[in-house]
Amino acid sequence: MEDFLLRYADYRGVIDRRGPENFATAEPHSTETKESSDTLASWKGDLDSADFSQSPTDNFQSRQPVAHCRWAKMTKELAIPEQSMNKVFCIAWDESAQRQAAQLSKRDTVKNRLFESNDYFQSRKPVVFEDLKNPRGFMELGKSRHFLITAVQDNTPGYGGELRMYVTRDGESWKRARFPHGQLMHEAAYTVLDGPKYHLIVEVLDGSNSQNVDKLKYSFDYGTTWSTVALPHPVEPIALTTVPDGTALKVLLIGSQKRGSVSEDKRHMSVFVDFAKLPKRTCQAQDFEKFYPQTPGSTCLFGHKQWYLRRKAQADCFVREKFHEPQGKEEPCTCTQADYECDIGFERRKNLCVPSKPIEIPPGACSRGQTTFMGPSGYRRIPGNTCEAPRGANPDAPVQRPCSEGEPAQGSVSHTRFDFPSLVVEVLHFHASPHILARLQDGQLFQSADDGSTWHRVALSAGGREADLALRLIAHPYERQQAFVVTSNSRVHFTADGGVSWSWFTVPLPPNLFGLEPLGFHPDHPSWLLWTGARDCEAGKDECRAEVWYSVTESHEKWKRVDSYVKKCAFLRTKQFPGAEKSIICESYALSKSDKARKLAQVPVDLVIGHDFYSRKQTVFHHVLAFSVFDRYMLIAELAGSPPTLKMHVSLDGYNFAPLTLPPSLQLDHRAYTVLDSLTRAVFLHVTTHDTDMAQWGDIVKSNSNGTYYALTLENVNRDGQGFVDFEKMLGLDGIALANVVSNTEEASLSGVKQLRTVITHNDGGHWKPLDAPAADSHGSPYACNQVGCNLHLHNLLERPDLRVTLGSPSATGFMLATGNVGRSLLPYAQCDTFLTRDGGFTWEEVHKDTHKWEYGDHGSIIVLVDDKHATDTLLYTLDQGLSWNSYRFGEKVRVSTLDTVPEDTKRKFVLMGESQGRSTAIFVDFTRVLSRQCVFDTHDEQRNDFEKWSPSQQREEACLFGSQTWFWRRKRDRVCYVGQALPEHEMEKKPCTCSAADFECEFNHYRDSHGNCVLYPGVTALSSDEGDQCSPDNPDYDGYWYERTNVRKIPLSRCTGGERPDRGQRHVCKSVPRGHGFLWWLFFLVVVGALLYTVAQWSSRQGYQALSLEEVHQSPAFRNVSEQVHLAAQFVGGQLSLAWANLMAFVSELTWVRDRIRADRPFSNYHMLSTDEDAEILQDYGADLDAE
């Protein structure tokens, strides 16, 4: 035998919350490392023989000694309840024993206890046993495949500290283990070998720390009988082990002899025990028996019994085989009630499946006096269950049902199937058109002209040449019937009539290889194009770069180069952004002669605006990362300063730019911004505040109407490593958005595991709140989590496998479908169910178990679901907005990747795109005959009218949303008809509301505290009042006065009037309010009139008074002379008055009082030509600087 020296190592680690497989442990300290006494004191004792763990509740400010920690869910076989998946067990010392624990040795563990916690030791409780109420002195916490095992000293007087073993299967209830020898263990070293065939139990008794053992017991019949073998020397056992799979017949015992019995260098030893040399035969087939694993109360599971072969306990033989994964065999069981569930259209009441809606009567039934029909029983065998129903007793067989329970059958769903020769990689559906394009992986282009029912190949040939290979499908963003097919060469095929006819043109360069959009479009001129191609990118060339060209002809025969060495170019003008008509904006590499040899990634990028098709260039920013145009805002990300930091700028016209001003709490070295939305006269911006490889999140801020000042609206919003943010706005209703926030930021910053919770806003970010959970699930059962803090949580943009699936629909206003769960945080996607809201997110209901892809049809009259986790041959659809669901089988199973219909969601036809046997398949599903009656819109007859009025705010306390209550028409839920074009208008009426607290949000430089009040950030000052903008007649709230700022501001989207206005401080009269004619006007009037009267009086006194007829006067020479004199005098007086007026104005304009009067009398003297609001003073005009350059 060899001497064996065991060295104890000191480990210190941190619990990682991703699960036991990711348990993080520090490297062992070197035996030569010397730690200071202060360091050791901070650990309150240093046990030298244990794997140490720390479970901090105060960021490691204090360090309580912990001997051992384990997850409750240590193996996949352990039956840990769902609510206990985060449970952690730790052997540690309680508060009363910490001081003593600092001096304990590795054997003096009499004071420690076993604690459990479900919240990572924010709270904890000790584990107690039925027969040991205050257990202390735990030795170890281990695991088997199906059990957690612990050993604890029994310190009851008279028991001498003997050990007891306890086991648990669920982490909740512990049971004491009883051993065949009938005595308590004495710190026994033991090994439990799992497996259906191989069972070898070996036990070594150890009495006490000072008593060695000299015998080893073993059993060949699963512990029924035991044999003993003498050890060469008495030994204190330390470890007993064998190979991990339990197939070996060899055992290794490691231990130490009693101190003083031998020399110290020979005291530690190992004992090798080999059972293979025993004269036992190899087991034969007759030596094995069937072993049936059982569940409580039954041997059947999912309709069958499963058995394995294992050696009989009495067989005196060895298996002598290498380890093989146990292969179970199945035997069918007779079906019982537990093998069935309620069929679709039925629900369980009082343990019976009863109809949840009228049963569909087959054609021809319930006629000619018939009173019953053959219908579904209400039961179906659970999918995957393999039980065998006894003859004549099949619960899911059709049964006779009274005709009173049914309704006449509707038209049936129909489908057609088309198999593509290759995989479909891109689909383009024209707006309001039955035409669909599909690009295949091998470059072919297919087209359907009937909503996907039939398909044909489009020959991309040009002038008799070989067909081109399609690389991209691009829809014209402003002309919805135009589309372009980018090919692998220098030709682009296009259609201007939704695919009815095709043409082509040649571009100057082949498509670029840099992931840039190849085509750019102009909002006012559909034929104006930008082309981004690749120059010198052939093999052997070193200056591969992107180059941009433009064309303004209908035929696209003539092209002119815009710029070379660019990252991105676009027309400055969009539908909402008022850029110059012929201006082009580019991110251009600032290359110099010395930069030619440098890689482009190392060259700074300038933002250049070129007027008149880039013939006059202006560099507006240096060192930019990117620019984007969202609605009426242009945002630019710039690297500025030393060291470089990311700065953001905004422009409303492409000429004037202003820096973004963030809240004081976000004034840090930002590394990432994401623009989320700008549809509600404000920019929503995500500012990353935590960015590591393990986890990322940040804060959402919202701007004023010119995009310059930003206020905090939501903290700790989730994002991924690519910069995409867990934020989504609702289609059709402004101001409603969903977001997922990280609720465990401290833990997630260490572990990388984020716990997400969903919140919603109904006033454009002014207030956020959790989603209220439904009262019951889709089966009518209450949720297990129904306490305070249990809410509905949804997978938004980041967590959905298919980002093309949107929550809402542009034609089904107020509808949203989402995947989620009810609980305290969001579960993984595969563990979630499907939920629906019909009122803009105020209330939700679970419509189906499991996760699905979905699509809306006919304004929400049809909703289609399909399994998104597995290949399927069935789709689900509802005609009553989720009250009931029907299934339709379409044949061979397909792994569905896309559910498609017209982008407006207004038709009753769908296309399922999926994969089957390595090829793509299109399944066209037509619901036209199912919904064959068109809905009736009649506002004068409520019974005949198939539509109802609804408002997104009618189910909440505040009836108004954004200062008005908007009412819409929607189809009644129980009317089975199609909408089509029956609705004359989408929005019915809008009633203004008086202002309330919901119409206001915190002013800039303010934040909402825990009491809901808007308070000023420490160390900052409030913004000055905006007299000029408030006094502008263009201001919708203009009333002739301006008001000083307060701690709140009115939400830009709100149109409320009257009521309380907490955003208005002290009132002042606008100087531009007309108050009659001013002083200078009256001065001018008096001077002119006085001069004229004086001239007339002087002329009359010289001529005297005579009675003359009119004819005599006109004919007399005197009259002509006088007329000429008066005319000359008038010209003279006019000249003198003009000169006097000019001198007078020059004089009085220098007088302070007069200057103030002039400004007061000039209408709109503070009007800004820029389209800005309250913060126009921070805009900077870079035009002069650019011209100077």
* pLDDT tens string 1013-1059: 888 888 777 888 878 778 887 777 788 888 998 988 888 778 888 88
Pairing of strands 113-117, 125-126: antiparallel
* Residue 552 CB-density burial (10 A; 0-12 exposed, 13-18 middle, 19+ buried): middle
Confidence of residue 28 (pLDDT cuts 50, 70, 90): very low
How many Cα neighbours within 13 Å face the side chain of 779? Answer: 15
Segment among 535-544, 1140-1149, 1160-1169 with least mean pLDDT: 1160-1169
How many Cα neighbours within 13 Å face the side chain of 471? Answer: 16
Tokens of 309: 């072969």
Pairing of strands 372-375, 673-677: unpaired
pLDDT tops 60 at residue 1071: yes
Q: Round to whole Å and give the CA distance between 834 and 849.
A: 6
Best-predicted range by mean pLDDT among 34-43, 287-296, 905-914, 1095-1104?
A: 905-914
Confidence of residue 528 (pLDDT cuts 50, 70, 90): very high
Average pLDDT over residues 1135-1164: 46
Instruction: Answer left, alpha or beta for residue 187, where phi above 0 means left and psi between -120 and 50 means alpha.
Output: left
Average pLDDT over residues 980-998: 76
Ranges of each domain in the chain:
8-141, 337-409, 530-622, 947-992, 1079-1161
Average pLDDT over residues 54-60: 41
> In this predicted structure, what is the pLDDT of residue 547?
94
> In this predicted structure, what is the pLDDT of residue 1135?
54
CB 483 within 8 A of CB 438: no
Percent with pLDDT over 90 in the chain: 24
Best-predicted range by mean pLDDT among 51-60, 816-825, 1146-1155?
A: 816-825
Q: Where are the alpha helices (DSSP H) in 671-771?
A: 745-751
Strand partners of residue 201: 219
Greater confidence, 518 or 207?
A: 518
pLDDT tops 60 at residue 17: no
Q: Round to whole Å and give the CA distance between 1155 and 1112.
A: 54
> In this predicted structure, what is the pLDDT of residue 1139?
53
| Residue 827 CB partners (closer than 8 Å, separation 6+) | 793, 821
Strand partners of residue 359: 406
Q: Round to whole Å and give the CA distance between 120 and 17.
A: 8
Average pLDDT over residues 889-913: 87
Segment among 276-285, 698-707, 973-982, 1073-1082 with least mean pLDDT: 1073-1082
Strand partners of residue 472: 486
Helix/strand/coil for 357: coil
Confidence of residue 700 (pLDDT cuts 50, 70, 90): very high
Backbone φ and ψ for 472, nearest 5 degrees, come out as -150, 150
The CA distances from residue 992 to 494, 814, 1039, 1054, 1058, in Å, are: 47, 20, 18, 10, 10
Average pLDDT over residues 585-595: 81
571: closest CA among 477, 660, 506? 477
Report the amino acid identity of residue 569: C
Identify the H or E element spanning 1089: helix 1079-1103
Segment among 34-48, 394-408, 619-633, 925-939 with least mean pLDDT: 34-48
Pairing of strands 737-742, 605-610: unpaired
The model carries a pTM of 0.59
pLDDT tops 90 at residue 52: no
Report the amino acid identity of residue 846: E
Kindly state the DSSP code that residue 1004 receives in the 8-state scheme.
T
pLDDT tops 90 at residue 456: yes
Greater confidence, 68 or 639?
A: 639
Confidence of residue 1134 (pLDDT cuts 50, 70, 90): low
Report the interhelical angle of 1152-1161 vs 1079-1103 (nearest 10°).
Answer: 100
Pairing of strands 317-318, 281-282: parallel
pLDDT tops 70 at residue 55: no
Tokens of 681: 């006269």
Greater confidence, 1151 or 238?
A: 238
562: closest CA among 528, 595, 526, 531? 531
Best-predicted range by mean pLDDT among 259-268, 346-355, 873-882, 960-969?
A: 873-882
CB 528 within 8 A of CB 555: no
Using the CB atoms, write b or e for 48-66: b if 16+ within 10 Å.
Answer: eebbbbbbbeeeeeeebbb
SS3 of 162-221: the string is EEEEEEECCCCCCEECCCCCCCCECCCEEECCCCCCCCCEEEECCCECCECEEEEEEECC
Q: Round to whole Å and give the CA distance between 528 and 526.
A: 6
Segment among 188-202, 539-553, 755-769 with least mean pLDDT: 188-202
CB 706 within 8 A of CB 699: no
pLDDT tops 80 at residue 246: no
Average pLDDT over residues 748-772: 90
Q: Round to whole Å and give the CA distance between 907 and 915.
A: 24
Average pLDDT, the chain: 77
Segment among 445-459, 896-910, 1113-1127 with least mean pLDDT: 1113-1127
Q: What's the topology of domain 337-409?
A: Wheat Germ Agglutinin (Isolectin 2); domain 1 (3.30.60)
Q: Round to whole Å and give the CA distance between 325 and 338.
A: 30
Confidence of residue 980 (pLDDT cuts 50, 70, 90): confident
Report the amino acid identity of residue 85: M
Q: Compute how many other C-beta atoms are within 10 angstroms of the C-beta atom of residue 356.
A: 18
SS3 of 753-819: the string is CCCEEEEEECCCCCCCEEECCCCCCCCCCCCCCCCCCCEEEEECCCCCCCCCCCCCCCCCCCCEEEE
> In this predicted structure, what is the pLDDT of residue 367?
67
pLDDT tops 50 at residue 1149: no
